[in-house]
Structure 1
Amino acid sequence: MSSPELLRETLREVLYGPPTTFGLSRFEAGGSLFSAPDAGLLRVAHAFTPAQALAPAAPGRPSAAQIVLHICQHLEHVSAVLHDPYALRPDEPEAWEVTLTPDQWQGTLVRLARAGQGLYDALYRPLTPEMLRMAHGGIVHAASHAGALHFHLRNVQVGE
């Protein structure tokens, strides 16, 4: 079972990448939980230009902005449930159905940071084993999308 402390450390790594020690990242020193240096979700999301973020990865595929919005929605919901087990998802369109503008993309980046902080704060609450499982699932879900965004960003940068 994951402890809240380990979940907070994992969430920090998802959002910011592995911590560094003595000039070496924990990844280089063999201590990273799962990610590579400079692959934190916030850093990766901010590396997209608005045009890159709003363009679909391929025909019929979501844009980076839609993926980031999906992560926001997911982290916000997990945080809400950790505060109130009966919390409902907000009445908003699914991220996959939204077409963002450049201004909305900037707002989504702020929303992502707030969603991550909201979940981080919720991990300080007394949590049942079921809540710990839900938090763990939410963090892993965000991590998998962060990896996909990092991969997409590298492809976009190579293509320029």
Structure 2
Amino acid sequence: MNPLQVHLIALLHELAHGPELGIDYGHFSEPEAGLLPTLDTLEAAQTAVPVAPDRPPLAAFVAHLSQLLTFTAGQLNGSVEFPDFAAPWQIKAVGEAEWSALRHELRETFILMQSAIQRRELEPEELNVAQSALTHLAYHAGALRFHIQNLRSQR
């Protein structure tokens, strides 16, 4: 596996879980700041709050990130299926069971993406696809952490 793939896997892990164990800080976050443990602290009702006026709620962004990772892993595996890109943005509110399912799906798509990155030596264009997806994911993860902090401070 080339060094960029190793780096992409480390970034994916940091986005999902936070920096590797034993590391005091990551590339862009502190320990316990991964998206999955952060989302696990929320109740379903909190995920219905729009991230900004006239914007979708947090649950929609989680569905979007799952879709992004699934689509990108498909690209890397050579089995691209174009999803309904508008579907995640239709989510307005979810119950506890739906919220649990969305978090589980996101967790599974992180695993799917990691597998796609490390399955074989990636070509330069595939590395670009993976890096672009992780950049997109990092942008949303940071914005969601900011939104979640705002939710907590409103309590």
Q: Judge which range, 97-106 or 146-155, deviates more.
A: 97-106
Q: Contact conserved, 1:44 with 1:149, CA < 8 A, in 2?
A: no
CA distance in structure 2 between the aligned counterparts of 1:152 and 1:136, rounded to whole angstroms = 24
Per-residue CA shift, 1:116-152, capped at 9, x if unaligned?
Answer: 0000011122211101111111111111111111111
How big is the shift at 1:92? 6.5
2:142 alignment partner AA: G
Q: Which residue of 2 aligns with 1:19?
A: 20
Q: Which residue of 2 aligns with 1:97?
A: 90
Q: Which residue of 1 aligns with 2:56?
A: 62
2:71 alignment partner AA: H
Per-residue CA shift, 1:11-56, capped at 9, x if unaligned?
Answer: 00010011232xxx431xxxx2111222101011112111001221
2:11 alignment partner AA: T
Q: Which residue of 2 aligns with 1:129?
A: 124
Q: Contact conserved, 2:15 with 2:35, CA < 8 A, in 1?
A: yes
1:35 alignment partner AA: S
How big is the shift at 1:93? 4.0
Q: Which residue of 2 aligns with 1:106?
A: 100
Gaps of 5+ in 1: none
Return the TM-score normalized by structure 1. Answer: 0.87
Identity percentage of aligned residues: 31
2:24 alignment partner AA: R
Return the TM-score normalized by structure 2. Answer: 0.89
Once the two structures are superposed, the pairs formed by residues 37-48 of structure 1 within 5 Å of their partners are 37-48=31-42
Q: Which residue of 2 aligns with 1:83?
A: 77
Per-residue CA shift, 1:36-81, capped at 9, x if unaligned?
Answer: 2221010111121110012213331111111111110000100011
Q: Indicate the RMSD between aligned Cα atoms, in angstroms.
A: 1.8
2:151 alignment partner AA: V
How many residues align structurally? 152
2:17 alignment partner AA: Y
Gaps of 5+ in 2: none
CA distance in structure 1 between the aligned counterparts of 2:55 and 2:43, rounded to whole angstroms = 18
CA distance in structure 2 between the aligned counterparts of 1:92 and 1:154, rounded to whole angstroms = 28
Per-residue CA shift, 1:69-115, capped at 9, x if unaligned?
Answer: 1110000100011001x612224643112234212221110000000
